A = this chain, B = another copy of it.
Amino acid sequence: MLGSGFIGRFYADSIQGYRSKDKIVSIYSRRQESANKFAEDYKVGHVTINMEESIAHPDVDVVCISLPNHLHEEAVMLCCKHKKAVITTKPLGRNAEEAKRMLLAVEEAGIFNGYLEDLVYTPKFIKAFESVKNGALGRILWAKSRETHPGPHSDWFWNIELAGGGCILDLGCHCVEITRSYIGKDIRPVEVMCWADTQVKPIDAEDHAIGLVKYENGAIAQFEVSWTFRGGLDLRDEVMGTEGTIWINNFLRTGFEMFTTGKGDNYVAEKAESNSGWLFPVGDELNELGYNHMFMDMFNAIEEGRAPKETFYDGYVVNAVLDAAYKSAKSKAWEPVKLEIWRGQENVQKPSNLVEYDKDHYLVKEELTHYGAKKLILKHKTTGTISEQVLN
């Protein structure tokens, strides 16, 4: 395990708690004190402040990178050198250039590579994704993901140099991969429009952003990210198709509601803002946030010699979309997504909107009126005239 901070601990809780056979054998941290504390808490035998020593340790089979963004590339390159399987926290790189270098390096080294995008492993996502694949929503038109909270925990996030960006990079990477999954990971993201601003925090990076991503098949993705939200961790996704819609609330409204005057005084939930009043805890955060299912996929993939659901390639695509978002936030126009490596479908066409009604008309809409009758809105195929027809 590289990194002993907030996310490293979340990962460790999941890794050692779930499959019962995976064990952290070495911990690297930049600070000795922090490494020691982690080793004690998780009963880790090897402790070091030398990253390469941890990676090269003979008992280490898989390296899990839970480091600040600016250290990902160095760690990945060392994994390549020592031929160790590597899984890394999100985002893969600070930009697509870094991500591409990492992707090419792990593929050349022939090592297992996993991208730890937990939010496409949440139980709700997995179930929703199945429904989408089964056609329950018809053709997907729009997918939106929102992740906002009152700001990250560690200092480096707030430093634009180390982090590579603000909430777009920190949170938008989740949203892009979630929405891309619903629309189809083999459909090319074409261009991005993004608004970003620093509305509240005294920092250089953006603390609030909204973006749109257009896909080649005409579908549109949307992300809403912020470090200025008050009220906890707001994680909501929506997908809309021609035959239905899905609304997912991963955190603040999961069927668990508690009011307390505040006599109890314990940890309630990640990024909760209070210990009294109406609270909305999550039963099992590790599970609801996808950590368990994610590590199970990663370790099972290693054992079975297959790629996991999320690889460095996915991390690279996400970085490329976010690069376009940053560019658009400055240029104030739609910016193309530059994907030098693309492994999905090419030249996908937007499907036709025309639904045949009879030989002369297309069907615009069919409905039950306020007063009980069935009404049709039709469009004449040649003249284009819109007409209404009420059936009884």
- Interfacial residues, chain A to chain B (CB-CB below 8 A): 6, 9, 18-21, 122-128, 130-131, 134-138, 141-142, 148, 150-151, 153-156, 158-159, 193, 195, 197-204, 208, 210, 212, 214, 218, 220, 222, 226, 228-232, 234, 240-251, 253-267, 270, 273-274, 276-284, 287-288, 293, 332-334, 353-355, 362-365, 367, 369-372, 375, 377, 379, 384, 386-388
Query: Contact between A264 and B135 (Cβ–Cβ < 8 Å)?
Result: yes
Bound-state Cα–Cα, A199 to B242, Å: 9
Contact between chains at A131 and B258 (CB < 8 Å): yes
- Is A278 within 8 A of B279, CB to CB? yes
A127–B365 CB distance below 8 A: no
Q: How far is the CB of A42 from chain B (nearest CB, A)?
A: 14
Partner of A261, one of B230, B263, B362, B365: B230
Assess whether B244 is in contact with A370, with CB atoms less than 8 Å apart. no
Also in contact, A158 and B231, with CB within 8 A (given A135-B263, A276-B277): no
Complex CA–CA separation, A135 to B148 (angstroms): 21
Contact B259 A150 (CB under 8 A): no
Q: Is the CB of A355 within 8 A of B202?
A: yes
State whether A123 touches B287 (Cβ < 8 A).
Answer: yes
A367 to chain B, nearest CB (A): 7
Q: Quick check: A255 and B248 within 8 Å, CB to CB?
A: yes
Q: Contact check, B222 vs A199: say whether CB atoms are below 8 A apart.
A: no
Closest Cβ–Cβ distance, residue A120 to chain B (whole Å): 13
| CB within 8 Å for A353 and B202 given contacts A193-B193, A208-B142, A257-B247 | yes
Point out the residues of chain B lying under 8 angstroms from A218, CB to CB.
197, 199
Question: How many chain copies?
Answer: 4
User: Does B334 lie within 8 Å of A332, measured CB to CB?
Assistant: yes
Nearest 3 pairs of A and B residues by beta carbon: A136-B264, A123-B283, A277-B277
In the complex, 15 of the A-B residue pairs with CB atoms within 8 angstroms, ordered by the A residue number, are: A21-B21, A126-B284, A127-B283, A127-B284, A128-B258, A131-B260, A136-B262, A142-B208, A201-B353, A210-B220, A226-B240, A243-B264, A244-B258, A254-B254, A333-B334
Indicate if the CB atoms of B284 and A261 lie closer than 8 Å.
no
Contact A212 B195 (CB under 8 A): yes
CA–CA, A252 and B100, complex, Å: 44
> In the docked arrangement, what's the CA distance between A202 and B198, Å?
41
Q: Which of B195, B244, B256 contacts A248 (CB 8 A)?
A: B256
List of B residues within 8 angstroms of A266 by Cβ: 130-131, 134, 136
Q: Chain B residue with minimal CB distance to A199?
A: B141
Collect the chain B residues with CB atoms within 8 Å of residue A371's CB.
267
Contacts of A274 in B (CB 8 A): 276-277
- 11 further A-B contacts with Cβ under 8 Å, apart from A150-B365, A230-B244, A230-B261, are A127-B284, A156-B386, A193-B332, A195-B214, A203-B353, A203-B386, A231-B259, A243-B264, A245-B258, A246-B259, A287-B287
**A202 touching B277, Cβ below 8 Å:** no
Q: Is the CB of A153 within 8 A of B226?
A: no
A263 near B138: Cβ-Cβ < 8 Å: yes
Instruction: Report which of B249, B262, B332, B379 forms a contact with A255, defined as CB distance below 8 A.
Output: B249
Is B256 in contact with A128, judged by CB distance below 8 angstroms? yes
A303–chain B nearest beta-carbon distance, Å = 10
Interface contact B210-A151, CB-CB below 8 Å: no
- By a CB distance below 8 angstroms, the chain B residues around A199 are 141, 218, 353
| CB neighbours of A153 from chain B (8 A) | 367, 369-370, 375
Given A212-B210, A277-B277, A370-B9, A229:B202 Cβ within 8 A: no
